[in-house]
Chains A and B, each alone.
Chain A
Amino acid sequence: MIQPASTTGPDRLPTAVGLVGDVGMIRRLKALALTQPLHDLDVRKARLDGADFSVYAMAELGLHAIDQVTVAMDFDRGADHDQVCRRLVPLAAAQAPDRPAAEHERVASWVLHNLINVGNVNRGFEAGYGTLHADGRYERRRFDFKLLVEFADPHGEIYLRATDEAVTVLVGALDTDITSAQVAAEVALDTLIRRGRLADARSAAEAARYRTVQYAEQLRRHLDATRRNVLAVDWLHAMPALVDEALHHVEQRYRYENAILTHIRRYRDSADDADHKRQAADLVAIVGDCIRRHTQLQARLLEAGAVFRAEQDRQQFAVTPARGGVDLHAQLLVPTLALAAGDAQRPAAAFFPGAVGVRTPRAPRVLDLVDLLLRPPVERDTLGAEVVEAELVTLAEPARFDDETWARALGLLDLDPAAPRRLSALLADARRRGDRDVAELVALLALHAVNPRVDASRQAGETTLTVAVDDGTALDDPEFGGADLLVGRARIVAAASATAATADGAALGDPHGAAESSDPAGITSILTELEATGGVAAPAGGRSR
Chain B
Amino acid sequence: MSEEPDAGVGGSPTGVGDPFDRSLIDGTREAERRRAGAHDAARLVSFGLRSRLVPARDLDYRDLVRRYLREAEFAALTRAIAAGLGLVVLDVSERAGLVPAGAEDSAFAVRIGDYARRAGGEHRAADRLLHALAQLAVAALAYPRPADLADASYVGRVSVHGVDAFVRETCRLLAERTAADDLNVDPPVDAPQLEAAWRLYARRTSTGTTRDARRLAGSTTGIIARAMNFLVESGCLVPVGDEAGGTYRTTPRYQVQVRELAADAAFEELLALGVVTVTDGAGSVRVLVDEPALLEAAPAGEAADV
Contacts and interface: CB of A to CB of B under 8 A. Distances in A.
A122 B205 contact: yes
Interface string A354-367: 11111111000000
A354 B112 contact: no
B200 interface: yes
B170 A321 contact: no
Contacts, number: 315
A21 B136 contact: no
Interface size class of B (residues with CB under 8 A): 35 or more
Nearest to B275: A335
A358 B288 CA distance: 33
A6 interface: no
B258 interface: yes
Contacts of A142: 186-189
A345 B267 contact: no
A23 interface: yes
A352 B123 CA distance: 19
B206 interface: yes
10 contacts: A321-B146, A326-B264, A336-B136, A337-B198, A341-B194, A350-B266, A351-B263, A353-B102, A354-B257, A358-B101
Interface stretch (B26-34, B72-80, B103-111): B103-111
A98 interface: no
A152 B210 CA distance: 13
A293 B112 CA distance: 49
A383 B190 CA distance: 46
A121 interface: yes
B101 A321 contact: no
Interface stretch (B17-25, B62-70, B137-145): B137-145
Given A347-B269, A350-B268, A341 B133 contact: no
A26 interface: yes
Contact of B277 (A26, A124, A335, A350): A335
Interface centre among A23, A329, A340 (most CB of B within 10 A): A329
A194 to B, nearest CB: 41
Contact of A336 (B192, B197, B264): B197
B266 A351 contact: yes
Interface in A311-340: 314-315, 318-340
B209 interface: yes
Contacts of B111: 352-353
Interface of B: 49-51, 87, 99-102, 106-112, 115, 123, 125-129, 131-133, 135-140, 143-150, 161, 165, 167, 169-174, 183-184, 186-190, 192-201, 203-209, 212, 218-219, 221, 230-231, 234-236, 243-245, 253-254, 257-270, 272-273, 275, 277, 279, 281-289
A149 B205 contact: yes
Nearest to A30: B186
A360 B49 contact: yes
Given A152-B206, A331-B267, A358-B87, A318 B286 contact: yes
B209 A150 contact: yes
Contacts of A351: 132, 135-136, 139, 262-263, 265-266
A272 interface: no
A323 B147 contact: yes
B206 A337 contact: no
A354 B262 contact: yes
Contacts of A339: 196-197, 273, 275
Contacts of A121: 123, 127, 204, 218
Contacts of B286: 229, 315, 318, 321
A232 interface: yes
A376 interface: no
A85 to B, nearest CB: 11
A346 interface: yes
Contacts of A341: 125-126, 129, 192-197, 200
Give the top 6 A-B pairs by smallest Cβ distance, nearest first.
A354-B262, A342-B193, A348-B132, A330-B284, A354-B261, A123-B205
A147 interface: no
Interface string A129-142: 10100000001111
Contacts of B107: 361
A348 B281 contact: no
A338 B196 contact: yes
